[in-house]
Amino acid sequence: MFCPKCGSQNSATAGFCVSCGAPLNPASNPAGNTFGTPPPPPPAGGPGPGNDPGADTVMKIVSFCFPIVGIILYFVWKQEKPKSASDVCKFAAIGFGVGVVLYILMMALGLMAGAAGGY
């Protein structure tokens, strides 16, 4: 079962997310009450396997600059880190769109310079 808040994978019987502590079964918690059994502590190595927000931020920036990297990371991460996979895919799409717009602008400016004899 994946956490609806952070996307971390949890066991099917867990009541709370092991990464962020969000309740996993809203039917058993209709008022949104987060009191009750607290989530287990994170592993000694950090917040959880593959949940390094700094690395994800770097990969978002790389995905924006090189959209093919974002597409590859999406397919690599889509099972183990679905939220991060979705984020890098969005940044890759945005980066691709910005690249297309910049290319069109450069072509338009080049054509205008050529029409004015600026070559």
Domain ranges of the chain: 1-51, 52-119
For residue 41, the 8-state DSSP code is P
- Judged against a pLDDT cut of 90, whether residue 61 lies above it is answered with no
Q: How far is CA 115 from CA 94, 105, 106, 109, 112, in A?
A: 32, 15, 14, 10, 5
Selected residue with higher pLDDT from 2 and 92: 92
- Judged against a pLDDT cut of 60, whether residue 63 lies above it is answered with yes
Give me 8's structure tokens.
């971390």
Give me 87's structure tokens.
């984020």
- Judged against a pLDDT cut of 70, whether residue 27 lies above it is answered with no
C-beta of residue 49 within 8 angstroms of C-beta of residue 43 = yes
